[in-house]
Amino acid sequence: MTARDVDRRSEPARTEGRNTSSSELARTEGRNLSHYIRSIPDFPKPGIVFRDITPLLASPVGLDASLTALTGLTQQLRPDVVIGAEARGFLFGPALACRLGAGFVLARKPGSLPHRTIRAEYALEYGTSVLELHEDAIEAGARVLVHDDLLATGGTAAALCELVEQLGGVVVGCAFLIELAFLPGRAALAGRDVHTLISYAEE
């Protein structure tokens, strides 16, 4: 048996000696992370409050704690693969996959992937956008965790779910660092198992 044959999903997540087996503990830690998030009013346009995660990314403590908490929320889902969309889904996605003993696959804008692709279109505030995924990125029956840094209207995450299911994968859950709960993201993911660390109830 080679190292690749070992099913690491059965191993408990280990991060700096922390026990991340409790999803409730992870949610508590997530709430404590909110002080790393900087709120910037009127960006990118008047009336919008931008939730800036760059202070969290710049902090070794904040970055480790956020990954530990995300792992605690999702390890019971036992994913084979984590999928994230460019570009912000690439910030935590590969590291989270590594901690979960899973692989990582990336969805990108049209023309960015070199191999044959499938695609999913999703709605924006004005117009539509498209994500593509390599047609061999996910095996039929694979357990897939959808990840992004932010859940807002849910269009990107719903498109990721569609891509996974086009290839016969099974979406076992969706995990986000931040949720803007006043927007219809959860409605767009109705029926999905959604996990978030930090939630904002209002703009």
88: helix, strand or coil: coil
Contacts of 142 (CB under 8 A, 6+ apart): 80, 81, 169, 170
Question: Please, are residues 170 and 143 in contact by the beta-carbon 8 Å criterion?
Answer: yes
Catalytic one of 16, 24, 125, 202: 125
Q: Which of 81, 83, 89, 82 is nearest to 53 (CA)?
A: 89
Upstream peptide bond of 26 is cis (omega within 30 degrees of 0): no
Q: Known catalytic residue: 162?
A: no
- Give the span between the Cα atoms of 20 and 18, in whole angstroms: 6
Backbone angles phi, psi at 64, to 5 degrees: -65, -45
Helix and strand totals (H; E) in the chain: 6, 11
202 is catalytic: no
Residue with tokens 């999928």: 83
Exactly one of 88, 119, 186, 192 is catalytic; which is it?
88
Q: If you search the block for the tokens 């959604």, which residue do you land on?
A: 194
DSSP 46: T
Residues marked as catalytic = 88, 125
